[in-house]
Amino acid sequence: MIVVGSMLESDVASWWMLGSLLVSAGALAMVSLNLVRFRTAPTESDEEGWTVTVCIPARNEASNLEDCVRSILAAADEDPSARTRVMVYDDGSEDETPAILARLVEEDDRVEAAAVSPLPDGWNGKQHACDCMGRQAKTDWILFTDADVRFAPDSLRRTRAELHRSSRPGRPIMLLSAFPREETGSLGEGLVIPFIHVILLSYLPIGRMRRTLDPAASAACGQFVLCQRVAWLEAGGHGAIRESMHDGVRLPRIFRSCGHATDIFDGTDIVRCRMYRGFSETWAGFTKNAYEGLGNPILLVLLTVLHLGGQLAPWILTLIAIGGGMGFPGFENGVQASTSLLLAGAAIGCQMVVRFRLAARFEQSLAGALLHPIGLILLTVIQWWSFRLHVSGQRTWRGRVAKSTAIT
């Protein structure tokens, strides 16, 4: 009764913290449900095989390309019932990438250098490279990946097993994406990169994704996207998202708009990726497409309110309390202050349960989880900076400027 009474006295802090607790508890509930649904690929696989071309767009990837290709070939060796090809598109590289590619092609006839053409106006470089490779491939399936991804020996056959498990009569999966283990080697990376899984599992209703073809209820990771080639061609290939820097969001939506089912799975144990090295690369990589992943300013504002007003606020209130209240409304009343802090503590507890569970499941940075509020601030700044770059037409990657689309 004392707690209820204090809140009925228009205690701003307590009401705010109650809202924060609801936001944090809601995220915890969604993550808990999604962790059950976001499963790893089966370890047992069939022997019927498939034909698949693994497509790698490469622009100045001398430090990555050979290790990536050799990991794919090792996975192909472990899947003898399949016919696996590796196709690399050298996108105007200025380093040793062309020489490395030529040597790999010479050493193994499963490796192919894609025919290249000048980048047309209105195209993002990666989407043009992927579109060219997909159209040149002669296999039933095409798997788009990045040069910084490394494949485990059982990755290809287990991906096929997951494809068969996810498909059902009348609803075959035509696009299947794995989220790799995202490796981090610095604090700056560890603060930001784990939010890939935090955002995915906090906001994507995986159950609805599998029940419907709603484009909004979909996701993919551009580091590992498997497509049935005929369906990909029907959807317009990567040409349907030619100006995009966020194929992980746009491509599954295009597939679903064409009536094709898509799905995702946890690829932590079959693929890994060191996306960026250091905070400066992380900043550049995320600001190029963070806003595009949301798609409109309304979602940007909503996420800002949820993250700063909902999740960050309890941390700030706790610091205020440690500082003696500092005139914050409600802290002149001891009972109200206790109520606010109790609610703030519960909200913080929910957030930390989420971060520690995700860190354990996906082998994420423990420091990044412990510094969750700092990561929230960085993520919000990145999203707004990305919005600024988007509307001003200044988003760049690998020396190229992205074309801005209309704001909706």
Q: What is the pLDDT of residue 8?
A: 36
Please name every residue paired with 396 in a beta bridge, in sequence order, or none if there are none.
401
CB 266 within 8 A of CB 165: no
Which of 92-96, 295-299, 379-383 is predicted least confidently? 295-299
Cα–Cα distance measured from residue 32 to residue 28, given in angstroms and rounded to the nearest whole number: 6
What is the per-residue DSSP string for 79-127? -TTSEEEEEEEE-S--SSHHHHHHHHHHH-TTEEEPP--PPPTT--HHH
pTM above the 0.85 mark?
yes
- At position 43, the amino acid (one-letter code) is T
Q: What is the pLDDT of residue 392?
A: 80
Cα–Cα distance measured from residue 59 to residue 145, given in angstroms and rounded to the nearest whole number: 13
Domain definitions of the chain by residue range: 2-33+296-401, 51-276
Q: Is residue 13 very low, low, confident or very high in pLDDT (cuts 50, 70, 90)? A: confident
Cα–Cα distance measured from residue 161 to residue 165, given in angstroms and rounded to the nearest whole number: 6
CB 56 within 8 A of CB 26: no
Q: What is the pLDDT of residue 193?
A: 97
Over range 254-262, report the average pLDDT.
97
Other beta carbons within 10 angstroms of residue 224's beta carbon come to 27
Q: What is the pLDDT of residue 7?
A: 38
Cα–Cα distance measured from residue 210 to residue 76, given in angstroms and rounded to the nearest whole number: 29
**pLDDT digit string (tens) for 157-207?**
999 999 999 999 989 999 999 999 999 999 999 999 999 999 999 999 999
Chain centroid to CA 23: 22
- In whole angstroms, how far apart are CA 211 and each of 73, 79, 96, 261? 35, 31, 47, 10
Cα–Cα distance measured from residue 240 to residue 131, given in angstroms and rounded to the nearest whole number: 9
DSSP one-letter code for 239: G
Measured in residues, the chain has a length of 408
**pLDDT digit string (tens) for 305-361?**
999 999 999 999 888 877 665 455 545 545 456 888 999 999 999 999 999 999 999
Print burial letters for 253-285: b (CB count within 10 Å at least 16), e (below 16): bbbbebebbbbbbbbbbbbbbbbbeebeebbeb
CB 317 within 8 A of CB 13: yes
Over range 32-55, report the average pLDDT.
91
Find where tokens 């990376």 sit: 189
Q: What is the pLDDT of residue 57?
A: 96
- CATH architecture group of domain 51-276: Alpha-Beta Complex (3.90)
Cα–Cα distance measured from residue 367 to residue 4, given in angstroms and rounded to the nearest whole number: 37
Q: Which of 163, 183, 193, 168 lies closest to 272, judged by CA? A: 183
**pLDDT digit string (tens) for 54-99?**
999 999 999 999 999 999 999 999 999 999 999 999 999 999 999 9
On the question of pLDDT at 373 being above 80, the answer is yes
Tokens of 168: 């059902």
Helices (H), 244-278: 247-257
CB 299 within 8 A of CB 290: no
Q: What is the pLDDT of residue 303?
A: 93
Q: Residue 211 burial by CB count (10 A; 0-12/13-18/19+): exposed, middle or buried?
A: exposed
Which of 168-177, 241-250, 288-297, 369-378 is predicted least confidently? 288-297
Over range 219-248, report the average pLDDT.
94
